[in-house]
Amino acid sequence: MDLTPTPSQTVGPYLHLGLTDTQSKSHVAGDGAKGDRLRLTFRVLDGEGMPVPDAMIELWQADCEGNYAHQDGGGTAARFLGFGRLATGEDGSCTFETIRPGRVPGPGETVQAPHINVSILGRGILKRLSTRLYFAGEPANAGDPVLASVPENRRATLLARPDAARPGNWIFDVRLRGLGETVFFDV
């Protein structure tokens, strides 16, 4: 008997069925939500820098005061959902409408910089990839305990940058492999 290893099966494009075709959520914060409004454009790129057209991005964030939305809603669910989910298009991108998050408590007596928790799913990704989006130029980044745990030469992979062509829009590249690979956390 020959016991030659065979390739593992990978997740196909099926993850979109029931998730992004009917449950897409691009508006993380409704019109009545307090805070500075912004748009976040995610671009998912493979190891060669080519767009990944069939990935799915999920994000979770605090509101402008540093509070996460709870399932019971507490009367704010219509204004601030705190969660978003979108599939990437042919160009590997998707755009969310939200507000700039506030600072949240960190480990010990620390306070974390404004950030957004991000998950990436897609074909061949058998376990979701978890990362964070921080805002370039944010003074609080210097004291963030999670960002400080990342080697300095890799921190830029966690920074969204303002889009010079579209005021109020931020761009966050997620590089799955290769040069400039995004830092992913084991959560």
**Cα dihedral sign for 150, 47, 130, 163?**
positive
Residue 165 has what pLDDT? 93
Give the integer Cα–Cα distance in Å for 18 and 16.
Answer: 6
Q: What is the pLDDT along the chain (187 residues), one digit of tens a residue?
A: 566 555 554 555 556 666 666 668 888 988 889 999 999 999 999 999 999 998 999 999 999 999 998 655 544 555 888 999 999 999 999 999 999 999 999 989 999 999 999 999 987 787 899 999 999 999 999 999 999 999 999 999 999 999 999 999 999 999 999 999 999 999 8
The CATH superfamily label for domain 13-175 reads Aromatic compound dioxygenase (2.60.130.10)
**What tokens does 154 get?**
């890799």
pTM for the predicted model, two decimal places? 0.87
Please report, for the chain, the start and end positions of each structural domain, with discontinuous segments joined by +. 13-175
Q: What is the pLDDT of residue 139?
A: 98
**What does the pLDDT read at residue 75?**
45
Identify the pLDDT of residue 123: 79
Q: What's the confidence (pLDDT) of residue 12?
A: 55
Three-class secondary structure of residue 167 per DSSP: coil
Give the pLDDT of residue 78.
56
| Alpha-carbon distances, residue 139 vs 63, 114, 128 (angstroms) | 18, 10, 30
Distance CA 29, CA 12 (A): 31
